[in-house]
A and B are shown apart, each in its own frame.
Chain A
Amino acid sequence: MQPPVPAPDAITVKNLRKIYTVREGGSWRGKTREIVALDGISFSVPKGQIAGFIGPNGAGKSTAIKILSGILRPTSGEVQVNGLVPWTNRVAHVARIGVVFGQRTQLWWDLSVGEGLALLRDIYGVEPERFARNHARLAEALDLGAIMDQSVRQLSLGQRMRAEIAASLIHDPEILILDEPTIGLDAPSKLAVRAFVHELCRDRGTTVLLTTHDMHDIEALAERVIVIGHGRILADSPFEDLRMTTLSERILELDFHGTPPELALPAGAVETARAPHSLTITFDPRQIPAPALVAHVGHLSGLDDLRISRPSIDEIITRFYADHAA
């Protein structure tokens, strides 16, 4: 018996390095300096997965995204996307991916959304029937009906982003690359974008690679998080694992109607902030379980309210970088 064939990977990256050479000073003979943007990263993304790329500015996320899109050539390393090497088979490769750069627009300012989509149909050679089908599906899912005849320059940012996502999917790409798709969007628009991407992956099996600074995007969407910093992969795991291993801390906040009393805390809990009417305690649930701690403080006089929270993902990541900064 042969073992079952594993699902083929949509994206394979091996030991990818990218070094930029920049000229210092404006002069002709200025010295050049090398900047290592990617220092040998490897990962693979199976078909149909949503993988989130996170990292601070300058970590190498955009460089990786550009290489996978086929618009940037790495210094060394191997990449296969849908079985193609992006930078050597550029035209064939780009026909099979969809890309949204959140800070740029791929639609045409002078045209309406509908005209832009029709133009992309011709560029990608989408057959009329398939175009009509996709058009109807995307218009409904992304709520584009009302803005289809508006010119792109008149759209709000949220409307434009929905139109951009439709534009990136009109040719049924197998892989969707989203570079900060929710940047600058208001809350309802962010929710709409997340819901759509989630359905896209679930219903059509599209592989999605996403970069973001919005940790809620990752929390809501990504089954898997790749943390990148200083051009290296610092972690590559399911989101929950990252949260568990990096930071198991919990935070207990107590509100008092008078001055908070002095407390003798059990091992594993420390007072981390004190305000005129509140107290913040940080604890490790492995040393002191939450119920025990609550029982410990619950009888305090003057206690109005208490809340237990997990640290935000921003804090997790910030802590994560601090731990790996060495």
Chain B
Amino acid sequence: MTLRPYFTAFGLQWKIGLRYRIAVVAGLVAQMWFGAVTLMAYASVYHAAPDVQAPLSLRQAMTYTWIQQSLFTLLPLGCLPAIGDAAKTGAIVYDLLRPVDMWNWWLSASLARLLGNAVPRAVLLACVAGPLAILVGLGAWSLAPPADLTAAVLSLLSITLGALLSATIVMWWNILTARTLSPLGSYAVGTPLAVLLSGMLLPLPLYPDWIRPFLLAQPFAGITDIPIRIYLGTPIPGGVATGLGLQLFWLTTLTLLGRLWMRQTVNRLEVQGA
């Protein structure tokens, strides 16, 4: 058993992700725009009600937004495009013809695609929203540094788990695509779920009290929300360990159930024909 094919799948998708440089720039502009608009909205809301004790300070809400925007392409918005294409053209049968473990093969590719998209954007956006914003005198609107060194290290660990978790959720979209032979369903389901439940639309800590525990406990919180909370040093109910624990729990659960679903799907493809 060699890991080589999985590294190869990773390398391939990473390369494809990086190949679209114009998309990176366009995405950056869009995310800066949305980030700026969101920030202005927060500023006016916070200034309108200075006495309310919000779960996040204005500065924290701004930093949350910047990180969230910079990690937009890390979200599991739909299936891996290559699998969507293969499902439409029928070339997906070739994936069954490879002497590899299909879960690991698709997972490596999905993870690479997420990282290939997200890493360049995140680095660029962090530079623009961090040092550059401070240099041009917009320090009050900038991306704040992590709460402390521990927060920095743990949030790095947490975002790594977040990326793996996101790739695992993409695997579910991939399987859905293989079953329905169309990528559309995965986008129709994946995009709203991911945008809403990851905290992209509104930071999860800013939702009403009664719903917050549920939002924290669902898997999408583990992609960016938990890492950002650790970065900001805002309290997570049960502490940082609970945050990391939730990520590990979902990673394990979704992998085990996903593998079962995959096996059943491959069986079905084998029985009904792709």
Contacts and interface: CB of A to CB of B under 8 A. Distances in A.
B100 to A, nearest CB: 6
Contacts of B12: 108, 111, 119
A122 interface: yes
A125 B2 contact: yes
Contacts of A70: 96-97
Interface of B: 2, 4-5, 7-8, 12, 16, 19, 82, 85, 89-91, 93-94, 96-101, 267, 269-274
Contacts of A308: none
Tell me the interface secondary structure of chain B in the complex. helix
B96 A63 contact: no
Contact of B19 (A66, A69, A110, A119): A110
Contacts of A119: 8, 12
B183 to A, nearest CB: 15
A122 B97 contact: no
Interface residues of A, number: 31
A325 interface: no
A104 B96 contact: no
B99 A94 contact: yes
Contact of B97 (A20, A21, A99, A108): A99
A90 B273 contact: no
A125 B4 contact: yes
Given A119-B12, A123-B8, A101 B93 contact: yes
Nearest to A171: B99
A71 B269 contact: yes
A109 B19 CA distance: 13
19 contacts: A21-B272, A70-B96, A71-B93, A72-B273, A73-B270, A73-B271, A91-B101, A94-B96, A94-B97, A94-B99, A106-B91, A106-B94, A108-B12, A110-B19, A119-B8, A122-B4, A122-B7, A124-B99, A125-B4
Contact of A123 (B98, B269, B271, B272): B98
Nearest to B5: A123
A91 B270 CA distance: 14
Please indicate which of the listed interface residues B8, B99, B270, B274 has the most CB atoms of chain A within 10 Å of its own CB.
B99
A61 B89 CA distance: 20
B257 to A, nearest CB: 22
Contacts of A91: 99-101
A155 to B, nearest CB: 15
Interface string A83-102: 00001001110110101010
Interface of A: 20-21, 63, 66, 69-73, 87, 90-92, 94-95, 97, 99, 101, 103-106, 108-111, 119, 122-125
Q: Which 6 pairs from chain A and chain B are nearest by CB? A: A95-B99, A122-B8, A71-B96, A106-B94, A73-B270, A104-B91
Contacts of B7: 122
Contacts of A21: 272
Residue from the set A71, A97, A104 with the largest chain B CB neighbour count within 10 Å:
A71
A104 B90 contact: yes
Given A104-B94, A106-B94, A122-B5, A72 B270 contact: yes
B5 A71 contact: no
A312 to B, nearest CB: 31
Given A71-B274, A99-B97, A104 B89 contact: yes
Contacts of B271: 72-73
A71 B270 contact: yes
Nearest to B267: A73
Which of B2, B82, B98 gathers the greatest number of chain A CB atoms within 10 Å? Answer: B98
Nearest to A168: B97
B97 A69 contact: yes
Contacts of B272: 20-21
Nearest to A92: B99
A166 to B, nearest CB: 15
Contacts of B91: 104-106
A220 to B, nearest CB: 26
Contacts of A73: 267, 270-271
A63 B94 CA distance: 15
Contacts of B273: 20, 63, 66, 72
A21 B2 CA distance: 38
